[in-house]
Amino acid sequence: MDMENYIEKSEQVLIHTYSRYQIVLDKGEGVYLYDTDGKKYLDFAAGIAVFALGYGNKEYNDALKNQIDKILHTSNLYYNVPYMEAATKLVKASGLDRVFFTNSGTEAIEGAIKLARKYFYNKKNHAGSEIISMNHSFHGRSMGALSITGQPKYREAFEPLIGGAVFADFNNLDSVKEKVNEKTCAIIVEPIQGEGGLFPADKEFLEGLRALCDEKDILLIFDEIQCGMGRTGTMFAYQGYDVKPDIITCAKALGCGVPVGAFAATEKAASAFEPGDHGTTYGGNPFAAAAVSKVFDLFESENILEHVNEISIYLEAKLDELVEKYDFILERRGKGLMQGLEFNKPVKDYILEAMSKGLIIISAGTNILRFVPALIITKENVDDMIDILESCL
Ligand code: PLP
């Protein structure tokens, strides 16, 4: 069957929630993807910041194959070894104390919201708490995560959402302070806003939030679903800021392709939950946990963080050259291998032309090109990407 046919058949049976690009992806190797016609693409999207280790890492694939042959699922009524190993590695990497695994990013956010509300409930002996989130943030599509997503375009059609969501301005501590009151249970922030346009938080802002949360005994939640797992050159972006949260959420590169998320918390926050407060049938099943565990091992054995710190300087310099050269490119923003170029016009046509020339890149909003490649990209990959992109500009 050719791609047109696959696409037509898909469109007949899928609910229309995406305007998909008109290619059918078939397999991946390293930082390259192939469509069903055999065309090769250099991939600077990595499944939206998921495939940190690239496609087809043998050690990772073997670990998953072994786990399939052993056991895929046990439910959370019992212990299993991969879960214990994955949780131990996430605790060590994050510096937090306890972990709960989910199946996606949005579910990690749901869990974090519930934990913050329960912390408040235990403290005050009543419900009715509020969470402060940031304008232009993105936290997911389930109802709780949507409620605290600071972009009305995603929320409007689905109201009423869960109550108690309050919005403040990113990188504006006074705006957050104005919203804090006796009902506030938590402040949630992406250390680098992803979908909202690749905006890194200022160090003073995160430090100010930490001090505010300490003063009021409220929880600081960092959504590291996109910016976490080495993407900015430290295992979690907050480690680059030296500001420790009470709760983090992660997903995407945590499983490097296997759907898994997690929220991790300090002992103080995590102890708000007791058995029965939260649960999931699949979350962190042995298959997903085996993936997480192997991802942490490979980050270490393949020196992923060192590589990100080295290669991102090169990527930044190359993107800066484009900003210098083309007056319709306004700015480069981001950190590490989470970069954006803001144009003064929509970028969709550039993405389509790049795709026709064998380069996959994505946008964040209408005018921003987003670069979130596998963390193993080389200088040659960056050069090839820039060559193709420039030929489209
Ligand atoms: N939070 C952030 C910062 C994200 O970037 C995303 C997804 O893009 C989510 C939450 C939701 O994650 P998922 O799509 O796995 O539900």
Amino acid code (one letter) for 88: T
- Is the CB of residue 332 below 6 angstroms from any atom belonging to ligand 1? no
Burial class (CB in 10 A: 0-12, 13-18, 19+), 5: exposed
pLDDT by 10-residue block (mean), the chain, 393 residues: 93 95 97 98 98 97 98 95 98 98 98 98 97 98 98 96 97 98 98 97 98 98 98 98 98 98 98 97 97 98 98 98 98 98 98 98 97 98 98 97
Tell me the three state secondary structure of residue 33. Answer: strand
Give the torsion sign (CA, 57, 238, 168, 129): positive
Q: What is the pLDDT of residue 1?
A: 82
CA of 139 to the centre of ligand 1 (A): 5
The protein residue whose alpha carbon is closest to atom 5 in ligand 1 is 226
Alpha-helical runs (H) found in 237-392: 237-241, 267-270, 286-301, 304-325, 348-356, 379-392
Q: How many alpha carbons fall within 13 Å on the CB side of residue 73?
A: 6
pTM: predicted TM-score of the whole model, two decimal places: 0.97
Burial class (CB in 10 A: 0-12, 13-18, 19+), 319: buried
CA of 71 to the centre of ligand 1 (A): 28
- Is the CB of residue 223 below 6 angstroms from any atom belonging to ligand 1? yes
- Is the CB of residue 294 below 6 angstroms from any atom belonging to ligand 1? no
> 60-301 — its CATH code?
3.40.640.10
- Is the CB of residue 144 below 6 angstroms from any atom belonging to ligand 1? no
CB neighbours (10 Å) of residue 211? 13
CA of 138 to the centre of ligand 1 (A): 7
- Is the CB of residue 105 below 6 angstroms from any atom belonging to ligand 1? yes
- Is the CB of residue 110 below 6 angstroms from any atom belonging to ligand 1? no
Tell me the three state secondary structure of residue 26. Answer: strand
- Is the CB of residue 138 below 6 angstroms from any atom belonging to ligand 1? yes
- Is the CB of residue 106 below 6 angstroms from any atom belonging to ligand 1? yes
Which residue's entry shows tokens 């992923």? Answer: 304
End-to-end CA distance of the chain: 33
Dump the DSSP string for 105-160: HHHHHHHHHHHHHHHHHHHHSS---EEEEEBT----SSHHHHHT-B-HHHHGGG-S
Contact indicator for 296, 236 with CB cutoff of 8 Å? no
SS (H, E, C) 181-227: CCCEEEEEECCEECCCCCEECCHHHHHHHHHHHHHHCCEEEEECCCC
In angstroms, the CA 35 to CA 27 distance is 7
The protein residue whose alpha carbon is closest to atom 12 in ligand 1 is 105
- Is the CB of residue 224 below 6 angstroms from any atom belonging to ligand 1? no
- Is the CB of residue 222 below 6 angstroms from any atom belonging to ligand 1? no
Domain ranges of the chain: 60-301
Q: What is the pLDDT of residue 111?
A: 98
Residue 195 CA, closest ligand 1 atom number: 5
CA of 105 to the centre of ligand 1 (A): 5
- Is the CB of residue 329 below 6 angstroms from any atom belonging to ligand 1? no
Strands 261-265 and 247-250: antiparallel
- Is the CB of residue 103 below 6 angstroms from any atom belonging to ligand 1? no
- Is the CB of residue 188 below 6 angstroms from any atom belonging to ligand 1? no
The protein residue whose alpha carbon is closest to atom 14 in ligand 1 is 105
Mutate to test the pocket of ligand 1, among 199, 252, 258, 370 (most ligand atoms within 8 A of CB): 252
Indicate the angle between helix axes 58-70 and 286-301, nearest 10 degrees. 150
- Is the CB of residue 149 below 6 angstroms from any atom belonging to ligand 1? no
Contact indicator for 245, 212 with CB cutoff of 8 Å? no
